[in-house]
Amino acid sequence: MKQAPHLAASVAAVFVSIMAGVAFTIYANLFEEKYVHSVAALEHIEIIKGSAIQRVALQQDDLLVVYGGSEIVLLQTRYQAYRFFSTYPTGFNVFDVANKGASALTMAQKVAALGEDVRGKKVVISITPAIVTMAPLGEVNPDHYNANFSQLHALELAFSPHLSMETKRLAAKRMLDFPAILEDNLLLKFTLENLAGDSTTNRILYYLAWPLGRLQIAFVTLQDHYATTAFIRSHSSEELRVTRQPEEIDWSALAAKAEVEQIENTDSNSYGVDNLKWKQLEELFVTPIAAGSKDAEFIEDVKNAREWGDLEITLRVLHELGADAVIFSNPMNVQLWEKLGVSEEAQNAYYEKINSMVSPYNIPVVDYREYGTDKYFDMDLAAHTSRKGWVYVNQTLDKFFHGVLR
Amino acid sequence: MSIKRLINFFTAFYANPLGRIFILTVYYLAIIAGLVFMYGKGDFSTPDFVYQGF
């Protein structure tokens, strides 16, 4: 030791750093546990690319973690689940992990990043028909995928000891379809390429990358804790206050009330489209389209949408990690799609496909198809949740949380 | 304590094998702290993007 003071000193410095990291992690976990209910009631998009607060949320008896996309966040209303349940009227609140443009591939990575922490825990995966029925090739927009990409989640999936090689291989192949976001993540890119490859060399290189990958995950996890505690500290004690007010909810009366509000917000058109989205959609309805004339094209698009492959990856992840999951899907907006030449019968192709995809995994699907003809469940063509729709969704969330969803 | 006495103190301390290791440890910790300060924050924010909603 005396002959090699630099070696001894560097080892000591690394040891002290590791201990400091461990101490900070313990502190951050306690801090996150203290404020996780506050975070649930706040918009917290700043930290959904991490996993720290999600892990803590999963451990709470009175939080239900919901993964989703724009259907969760687009319409800012008091009926949104995280606002509606913020006073714990029926004993719980939701913890949203949602952002505009998030697709099944993003959600697969988010859930995979939780590893064993999600086993046996109730989680909701919310999807909409939008990507499948409206996006080119039924595939997530690369800009949306890249914006929602999390280095931590991708690394956790790639180096997960809890997922099968086949699931990781399927995910890796899809993730490589979005190369731009991997440009700055050389280790991740290298790992995904070797995961996606079939040769023995690929397998050896993948395992050689494993220690580096776990090391990087450890660093990024510390950064995640730092970002989460900084996010919490950026709010005042008033903003972080949680109040609990148990109350009986008359769901029918609430739906009627929300419908009135929704109608008030659709006065720019006769289709029931929310004023927020009408400008974007109105030109689609200028020229009448013959009923059923687009059926064949629609059914073909639904059948071949790439989003299904990504949903398959999500389902595999949920299954292999043993999550107690449910899949929510907003309904097709029957009336609007009929105006665009797609009959109600053809629209059913979506429900048939999603149910046939999920069924082998014994995961329940709530597809709300009975509300497809309700003009005010969806706020637009892409099935974003309206005020009234939120009441139905909230009622289902309540049933799922309390174990009475049938 | 004057600067000269401080220098003398550290020189004597550094001459001691254990003292040298201690000072080098502090030196390496300072480097690690600097790296953490410069690169350790991470970025978990969602970049601005145009949501091409349907």
What is this structure's pTM? 0.92
> How many contacts (CB atoms, under 8 Å) link A and B?
91
CA dist., res. A48 & res. A71, Å (int): 16
- Give the β-pairing of A93-98 and A122-127: unpaired
Choose from B13, B21, B54 for mutation: most chain A CBs within 10 A. Answer: B54
In a 13 Å sphere around the CA of A171, the CA atoms on its Cβ side amount to 32
- Cross-chain residue pair A226–B20, CB shorter than 8 Å: no
Q: How close does chain A come to B11, measured CA to CA in Å?
A: 16
pLDDT band at A12 (very low <50, low <70, confident <90, very high): very high
Choose from B44, B48, B50 for mutation: most chain A CBs within 10 A. Answer: B44
At A239-250, the pLDDT tens digits run 999 999 999 999
With a cut of 90, say whether residue A187 has pLDDT above it: yes
Q: What is the 3-state secondary structure (H, E, C) of chain A?
A: CCCCHHHHHHHHHHHHHHHHHHHHHHHHHHHHHHHHHHHHCCCCHHHCCCCHHHHHHHCCCCEEEEEECHHHHCCCCCCCHHHHCCCCCCCCEEEEEECCCCCHHHHHHHHHCCHHHHCCCEEEEEECCHHHHHCHHHCCCHHHHHHHCCHHHHHHHHCCCCCCHHHHHHHHHHHCCCHHHHCCCHHHHHHHHHHHCCCHHHHHHHHHHHHHHHHHHHHHHHHHHHHHHHHHHCCCCCCCCCCCCCCCCCHHHHHHHHHHHHHHCCCCCCCCCCHHHHHHHHHHHCCCCCCCCCHHHHHHHHHHCCHHHHHHHHHHHHHHHCCEEEEEECCCCHHHHHHCCCCHHHHHHHHHHHHHHHHHHCCCEECCHHHCCCCCCECCCCCCECHHHHHHHHHHHHHHHCCCCC
With a cut of 70, say whether residue B54 has pLDDT above it: no
Tell me which H or E stretch contains B2: none
With a cut of 90, say whether residue B14 has pLDDT above it: no
CA dist., res. A157 & res. A175, Å (int): 11
Question: Can you tell me the mean pLDDT for A88-108?
Answer: 97
Residues of B in contact with A46 (CB under 8 A): 44-46
Nearby residues of B25 by Cβ (< 8 Å), 6 or more positions away: A8, A9, A12, A13, A16
- Cross-chain residue pair A227–B42, CB shorter than 8 Å: yes
Q: What is the pLDDT of residue A343?
A: 97
Chain A, nearest residue to B17 by Cα:
A2
Find where tokens 């009475």 sit.
A404
At A253-291, the pLDDT tens digits run 999 999 999 999 999 999 999 999 999 999 999 998 998
Question: Can you tell me the mean pLDDT for B15-39?
Answer: 92
Q: What is the pLDDT of residue A170?
A: 98
- Cross-chain residue pair B24–A5, CB shorter than 8 Å: yes
% chain A with pLDDT above 90: 96
Residues of A in contact with B25 (CB under 8 A): 8-9, 12-13, 16
Flag whether residue A17 sits within 8 Å of chain B, measured between CB atoms: yes
With a cut of 90, say whether residue A73 has pLDDT above it: yes
**Closest CB from A130, A226, A381 relative to B41:** A226
- Cross-chain residue pair A9–B27, CB shorter than 8 Å: yes
Question: Can you tell me the mean pLDDT for B1-25?
Answer: 89
CA dist., res. A311 & res. A107, Å (int): 9
Please identify among residues 274-293 of chain A the ones whose CB lies closer than 8 Å to any CB of chain B: 277, 280
Q: Does residue A141 contact residue A101 with C-beta atoms inside 8 Å?
A: yes
**Closest CB from A13, A74, A380 relative to B28:** A13
With a cut of 80, say whether residue B50 has pLDDT above it: no
At A332-342, the pLDDT tens digits run 999 999 999 99
